[in-house]
Structure formats: C-alpha cells, structure tokens
Structure 1
Amino acid sequence: MPRPTVARRSNAGTKGVPRAEREGQIVQVATEVFGTLGFAATSVADVADRAGISKPLIYNYFGSKEGLFSACLHRAGAILAGELERVARGDAVGLERALRTLEGLFTLLEPQPWIWRLFFDPTVPRGEEGIAAEIALYTDRITALADQGVGEMLRLAGADDPLDVAALTAVWLAVADSLVTWWLDHPDETPASMTERCVRLFGVVLGAPLPAHVTAD
C-alpha cells in the first residue's frame, strides 16, 4: 500500500511570526502529519518539511518528537472535548443527545479526520509521561461527559444505579468509537448520511422510538 502523503505547507515558518502563533501553526501541521502517517512512521523531518521550517526550530519549541506529539494531543483533545461540551450544553437528552453527539463528531471530523486517529494510533508510546498525561486528561474529560449523558438517560427511564451508569457509559464509548472509526474508513459517507445510518441502526438495535429531528433539513 502506498505511504499516505501530506502536502507541504510552505509558509508556516515565515519570519516575523510571533512565537506563540508559529507554535500553533507547527502543531496544526504536525497534528495532520501524525494523524495521517502515524506516530512511528512520522519523523520530525516530515513535520519540518510539511511546515516549511527547520528541524532545529521544532526541537527548540517542543524538545522532542514526543513533546511535539503531546502538544498535538492537547490541541486535538481540546477540539474534540469542546464539540462534545457544545452538544452537552444543548437541550437534547437521552437518545437524542447521543445522536446529536455523533452528528457533531461526524461534522467536526469531516475536514480533519486525523484528529480522531491521533488518539487511537497503536504506535504511540503511551508510557511516555507527557503523552500519557494528555491522553488521560482528555479521556477523563470525555468520559465525564459520556457519564453525564448516560446517567441522564437512565434517570429518565427510572434507573439510577451507579454501576448501571458506569457499565452503560463503557458501552456507549465503545459504540461511539466503533461508529466513528467505521465512518472514517468509509470516506464516501457524508456526516448527514452517517447520522441517518446511526438513527436506523439505533432504531433496529434498541427497538425504541427515535427522535423525529436529528439533522437540519
């Protein structure tokens, strides 16, 4: 299979750019490279070439390949958690909230699928302290949101056993991950068509009435 390619961005290292802004540019580029090629297959030289900067500049800013990857996780995690929190602030509850969460993820990830793949790359050295800390931070943040939504759904059904909430939260996280991963492997599926597919699948599996409105017309 041909090695995935990421187009070179020639202006990311332009002189005169403030350090904070340049760091952000590098992290944005590196997130795409790591998420496309995978951690093990990506070198600092790959990122530098893609960003149009020198390798020493990356080491100066981030210290190491692992430090750069940690910064990418921080950015990607904030984007993902921010979308989930946006849905949580809405008025959808129960199954409708679950479907709106998936819809939000599909829409968010369509132009930047590498954000999701960054967290599920099997070649990532998860024992490295900085990387482990970032993964734990956003795993806990996202799990707390899932726990909140699942707990709300169970309470609506008259169930409030904490172990039931914990068990169903684990199920929901696995289902959401599987659906998003399947969708990323089927790029012809649009966010709208994938959301409609989820509505159908949930209806079949749960045998429950589904929200009449999930996506905008």
Structure 2
Amino acid sequence: MTMLPSKAGTKGVPRAVRERQVLTTATEEFGRHGYEATTMAAIAARVGVTKPLLHQYFGSKQDLYLACLDPVGSRLLDAVRAAMAGPGTGAPPTSLRVLDALFTALDGQREAWFVLYDATLPAGSDAAHRAAHYRDAIDDLAAIGTADLLHTAGSSDPLDADALKFAWRGLCTALVRWWINHPDQSPEAMTARCARIFAAARSLGAVGDDGV
C-alpha cells in the first residue's frame, strides 16, 4: 500500500510529527541565535533531516521563521489580552497578571520571546513586518496599562506613558533573559519574584530626598 506524499515522513516518522519537531527546534534556534545567525543547515542537523527536506516542508528560511513566529505571536498576544481582560476581587495588579501570563505562555519554550523580539530581522522583509504586527499589538495593550497607571499616579503627560511603555518592554525582555539563564525557576516562582521586586521598588520610591 503506497502512502500519500502529503502524509509521508522521514525514517518512519509521520510528516506531521516531523514538522512539529522542526518548528520546535527552529523556534529554539531563532530565539537563541537570532534570524541572521540561524541557518537551515543547523536546524536540519538538529532535527536529523536533510536541508533539502527542510526546504521541501517549509520553503525558505523566512517561510520557516514565519511558521514559528505566528504561533508565538498569537500565544503571547492572547495571554496579554486575557490578563488585562478584567481583574476579579482581590486580584494581583495588572502588571503582575501580565507577567504571570507571559511566563505561563512561554513555559517550556522560553526562547520564543526572542523570536518575536529579534533585532536581526532583515529591514523591510515580510518577517520584519509580521513581527512588528505582533509587537505593535502587544505595545498597544501595554500603552493602555501604563496610561492607566500614570493616570492613577497623577501624570497626564503622553511622553511619560510612551517612555513607560518602552521601559516595560525592556523589563519584560530582561526578565525573560534572566529566566532562560535560570531554568529551575517555574512561572509561579518568577511571578512571586517579580512581586517582591516591585514591592522593593515601591519602597525605594517612597524614600525621601534625605534618604529616610
């Protein structure tokens, strides 16, 4: 009995399974090394397939990157939206809910954050435009949260909100990078750590000019 080409895999592995293996590996490679430094040959070698087969399954390197990006971008965007949808009584602050949602969404594939926030994407490429689409959508949500925070603090300066939005993105990136270097830390542990850090930062902000 002849197997249909669309179902065929390599070395007895069904094509759908092999494709998932490729996407998992490619997401790690793009996240760890960036788009520019990642090669199809390296991905193929890690998966245990040939480079021509990789092109047969996914097309060009950019096509493979986009196949990795879309699930990552959608997952992170949905996580942020859900976290900001509306707190219940006694719920943690929005900032902690968002961070907890991000850590949970990235658990098991932490490098995926840097697939979305990749500075090496070719300018003007489909990859750069698609990544910017997800980043802008997440930034728009962040802008809502930071504007509300500043309004509560009595600031109405739009530049304050814009600066805080970019600082928030940098904070998230720094925390994920630290998390990658500490693989033993669970999403719950990271959220609890952030709560302690935020509490310490509030304490510092409450210190007067005379240091007390």
Which structure has the highest helix share of the two?
2
* 1:44 matched to 2:44: no
Q: Which moved more, 1:27-36 or 1:46-55?
A: 46-55
User: Equivalent of 1:200, from 196, 199, 203?
Assistant: 196
Equivalent residue number for residue 213 of structure 1? none
Equivalent residue number for residue 97 of structure 2? 100
Equivalent residue number for residue 150 of structure 1? 146
Q: Shift of residue 200 of structure 1?
A: 1.2
For residues 138-177 of structure 1, the aligned pairs below 5 Å read 138-177=134-173
Q: Is residue 100–residue 188 contact of structure 2 (8 Å, CA) maintained in 1?
A: yes
Distance in 1 (CA, whole Å) between partners of 2:155 and 2:11 is: 56
Provide structure 1 residue ranges, at least 5 long, that are not aligned to the other structure: 1-8, 209-217
Distance in 1 (CA, whole Å) between partners of 2:28 and 2:12 is: 14
For residues 113-152 of structure 1, the aligned pairs below 5 Å read 113-121=110-118, 124-127=120-123, 129-152=125-148
Give the TM-score of the pair, scaled to structure 2.
0.75
- Letter of the 2:178 partner, please give it: W
Residue 47 to residue 12, structure 1, CA distance change in 2 (3 Å): farther
User: Equivalent of 2:106, from 101, 104, 109?
Assistant: 109
- SS of residue paired to 1:111: coil
- Letter of the 2:144 partner, please give it: Q
Q: Is residue 116–residue 135 contact of structure 2 (8 Å, CA) maintained in 1?
A: no
Q: Shift of residue 173 of structure 1?
A: 1.7
Q: Which moved more, 1:198-207 or 1:158-167?
A: 158-167
Residue 153 to residue 94, structure 1, CA distance change in 2 (3 Å): farther
Q: Shift of residue 138 of structure 1?
A: 1.2
Q: Deviations over 1:64-113 (max 9, x none)?
A: 11221122222211111111111111326997110111112222222111
Provide structure 2 residue ranges, at least 5 long, that are not aligned to the other structure: 1-8, 205-212
Q: Shift of residue 57 of structure 1?
A: 4.4
Q: Deviations over 1:8-47 (max 9, x none)?
A: x9789625x5xxx986664344223433454455432343
- Letter of the 1:98 partner, please give it: S
Equivalent residue number for residue 14 of structure 2? 14
User: Equivalent of 2:187, from 184, 191, 197?
Assistant: 191
- Letter of the 1:131 partner, please give it: A
User: Equivalent of 2:81, from 85, 91, 99?
Assistant: 85
Aligned length: 195
- SS of residue paired to 2:93: helix
- Letter of the 1:159 partner, please give it: S
Give the TM-score of the pair, scaled to structure 1.
0.73
Q: Is residue 117–residue 131 contact of structure 2 (8 Å, CA) maintained in 1?
A: no
Q: Is residue 12–residue 26 contact of structure 1 (8 Å, CA) maintained in 2?
A: no
Equivalent residue number for residue 207 of structure 2? none
Distance in 2 (CA, whole Å) between partners of 1:179 and 1:188 is: 14
Residue 175 to residue 135, structure 1, CA distance change in 2 (3 Å): same
Residue 183 to residue 25, structure 1, CA distance change in 2 (3 Å): closer
Larger radius of gyration: 2
Residue 11 to residue 96, structure 1, CA distance change in 2 (3 Å): farther
Q: Shift of residue 51 of structure 1?
A: 5.0
Distance in 1 (CA, whole Å) between partners of 2:28 and 2:160 is: 38
